[in-house]
């Protein structure tokens, strides 16, 4: 298969201005999303490139195209129709898609990402229209090397990879997981400056245990039960080996793996290839950043907070772990920090026992804690009992259980704290632990609230309360881009922690005075610039960045200069010598 790089390449003219050099003409240019400018091809380009007569006569520049498409976007009847409309643009003109997304981030991120992406994942087979990305399965994993060799893009720097075992709060989605990888990469480009022609979304189709998919004749994935154990890791091992061999400078972002597998995958490969897990580390960083901002809003130190995390999956343990690291950075010992964080799962408070999963042990409490609570050891304390006995100032939800935070729970926090911090972060919207409107009313407008999905502001007693969105998109684009620019050999815990503090710093400088603990999504590119430069500096400091020549550079300028811009370039034709 010819590489797309054989058809187009970026060049600089004698004045140092960029242009696109292409080796194909005519309709083929219009059929490649990477080269199709549509009605923006100039009259001379149409003549030179064999497009004369193939397009309407009016030459429409990029802004004109964006305006026309945005009008049509607004006419779509519902969110999933808007999603399909945007993906159809991506499938025919990538530059135009990203330019449109950049101009309307606040409005369109909830369409290409959470919460609408959840519907797109569930309806993946029904909505399927055009091949995008890669799928590795038990049927083709032994051909992984040749599959990567045949991929039409050659300089891959970022792969977002899922096995779709735990998509958002909707669980095992099989082949549909590819849609969430496509959505994540859209934000890497529109919000994080990563060139889309250096990325690939990957679905590891190891089967599905969802009966409705296995019984659906239209389902496009493997109609087999999920692999597990050694067979599962044999497949992932082969995939990682192929990536290391073909794309040695690539970063892997692991996405939406079930809790036990998520931690095992990260531990198994993080020293083999630069990688991170967004559900564990990205969610942890964005939650810590929001908590730091909330503490500054309250004029209280992080070290004074008692934190309860509801949910002990990848997100819950990731959040609790990073908050613990934040407390240690602020001066507490590991033991002191652990005593201020309580994780609750479906069985109750996470405690040390022979039945406790290994990935939870760093946050598990000694069961002797029950003695202080005057609770018999016949059961692990449930969420309400933990709240009653710990009197936390912070409650974070990553359980995926809608309505888990009851009126009784929230009111008890408001009784103990003037401004309780309450983050129901589960996605999508239907899985949120409590609606912000209810939290505002139950706390008489005193709570500091953030959610995972976007919610409209709440009006209460004549005041308007803005609801912050703890969106991972404030973290992973900058973190991943920094790792790419530094050609990192490893993505360290300190790099992830630095991303959290960079986001909190941006919020303090630009948003905190207005009472906001997260920036608006429209600020995503500005946030990503700050996160990327701070993380890159940390990578150079801890030795994970191999580009040591960057030590003598202005990192802010370097990151900004390497941000990919969605704009049309002039085209020049050059016959392919081969």
Catalytic site residue from 37, 82, 184, 324: 184
Pairing of strands 18-22, 571-573: parallel
- Contacts of residues 332-337 at CB distance under 8 Å and 24 or more positions apart, as own/partner, are 332/303
Catalytic site residue from 7, 83, 98, 113: 113
Burial status of residue 535 (CB atoms within 10 A of its CB: 0-12, 13-18, 19 or more): buried
Q: Is residue 37 annotated as part of the catalytic site, yes or no?
A: no
Contact 499, 479 (CB under 8 A): yes
Integer CA distances (angstroms), 510 to 222, 298, 479, in order = 48, 17, 20
Query: In this structure, what DSSP letter does residue 361 have?
Result: G
Six token digits for residue 469: 């969105």
CA neighbor of 120 nearest in space, from 177, 73, 159: 177
How far apart (Å, rounded) are the C-alpha atoms in residues 454 and 75?
A: 21
First to last CA, the chain: 14
Six token digits for residue 207: 């089967």
Sheet holding 8-12, edge to edge: 8-12, 18-22, 571-573
Q: Is residue 518 annotated as part of the catalytic site, yes or no?
A: no
CA angle 143, 146, 147 (to 5 degrees): 80
Other residues' Cβ atoms within 10 Å of the Cβ of residue 236: 23
Residue with tokens 């701070």: 534
- Helix and strand element counts for the chain (H, E): 24, 17
Q: What count of residues does the chain have?
A: 578
Contact 499, 478 (CB under 8 A): yes
Sign of CA dihedral 470, 476, 481, 482: positive
Helix (H) or strand (E) holding 410: helix 407-416
Sign of CA dihedral 21, 26, 31, 36: positive
Strands (E), 311-420: 341-345, 348-349, 394-397
Contact 174, 213 (CB under 8 A): yes
**Three-state SS at 128:** coil
CA neighbor of 206 nearest in space, from 270, 251, 161, 266: 161
Q: In Å, how far from its chain's centre is CA 540?
A: 24
Six token digits for residue 69: 């498409």
Largest separation between any pair of C-alpha atoms in the chain = 85
Catalytic residue annotation: 113, 184
């Amino acid at each position: 298969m010819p590489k797309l790089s054989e058809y187009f390449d970026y060049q600089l003219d004698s004045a140092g201005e960029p242009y696109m050099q292409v080796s194909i003409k005519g309709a083929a240019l219009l059929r490649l999303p990477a080269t199709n400018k549509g009605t923006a091809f100039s009259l001379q380009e149409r003549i030179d490139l064999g497009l004369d007569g193939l397009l309407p006569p009016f030459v429409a520049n990029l802004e004109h195209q964006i305006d026309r498409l945005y009008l049509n976007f607004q006419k779509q009847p519902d969110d999933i129709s808007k999603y399909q409309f945007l993906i159809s643009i991506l499938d025919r003109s990538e530059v135009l898609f990203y330019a449109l997304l950049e101009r309307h981030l606040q409005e369109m991120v909830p369409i290409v990402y959470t919460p609408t992406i959840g519907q797109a994942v569930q309806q993946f087979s029904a909505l399927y229209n055009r091949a995008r990305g890669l799928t590795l399965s038990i049927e083709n994993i032994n051909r992984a090397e040749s599959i990567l060799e045949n991929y039409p893009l050659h300089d891959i720097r970022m792969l977002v990879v899922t096995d779709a075992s735990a998509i958002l709060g909707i669980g095992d989605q099989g082949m549909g997981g590819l849609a969430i990888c496509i959505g994540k990469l859209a934000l890497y480009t529109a919000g994080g400056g990563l060139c889309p022609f250096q990325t690939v979304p990957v679905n590891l189709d190891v089967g599905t245990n969802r009966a409705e998919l296995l019984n659906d004749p239209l389902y496009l994935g493997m109609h087999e039960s999920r692999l597990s154990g050694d067979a599962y890791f044999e497949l992932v091992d082969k995939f990682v080996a192929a990536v290391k061999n073909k794309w040695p400078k690539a970063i892997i972002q692991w996405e939406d793996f079930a809790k036990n597998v998520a931690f095992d995958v990260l531990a198994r490969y993080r020293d083999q290839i630069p990688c991170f897990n967004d559900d564990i580390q990205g969610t942890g960083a964005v939650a810590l950043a929001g908590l730091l901002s909330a503490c500054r809003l309250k004029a209280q130190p992080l070290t004074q907070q008692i934190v309860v995390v509801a949910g002990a999956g990848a997100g819950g343990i990731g959040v609790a772990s990073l908050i613990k690291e934040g407390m240690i950075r602020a001066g507490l010992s590991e033991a002191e920090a652990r005593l201020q964080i309580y994780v609750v799962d479906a069985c109750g408070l996470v405690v040390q026992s022979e039945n406790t999963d290994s990935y939870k042990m760093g946050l598990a409490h000694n069961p002797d804690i029950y003695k202080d609570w005057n609770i018999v050891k016949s059961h692990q304390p449930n969420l309400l009992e933990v709240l009653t006995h710990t009197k936390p100032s912070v409650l974070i939800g990553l359980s995926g259980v809608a309505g888990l935070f009851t009126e009784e729970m929230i009111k008890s926090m408001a009784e103990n704290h003037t401004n309780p911090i309450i983050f129901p972060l589960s996605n999508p919207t239907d899985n949120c632990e409590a609606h912000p409107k209810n939290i505002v009313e139950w706390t008489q407008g005193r709570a500091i609230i953030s959610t995972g999905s976007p919610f409209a502001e709440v009006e209460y007693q004549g005041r308007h309360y803005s609801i912050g969105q703890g969106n991972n998109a404030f973290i992973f684009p900058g973190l991943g881009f920094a790792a790419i620019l530094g050609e990192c050999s490893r993505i360290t815990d300190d790099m992830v922690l630095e991303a959290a503090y960079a986001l909190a710093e941006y919020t303090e400088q630009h948003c905190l005075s207005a009472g906001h603990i997260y920036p608006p999504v429209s600020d995503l590119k500005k946030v990503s610039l700050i996160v990327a430069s701070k993380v890159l500096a940390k990578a150079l400091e801890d030795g994970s960045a191999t580009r040591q020549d960057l030590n003598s550079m202005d990192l802010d300028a370097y990151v900004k200069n390497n941000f990919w811009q969605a704009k049309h370039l002039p085209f020049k034709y050059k016959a392919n010598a081969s």
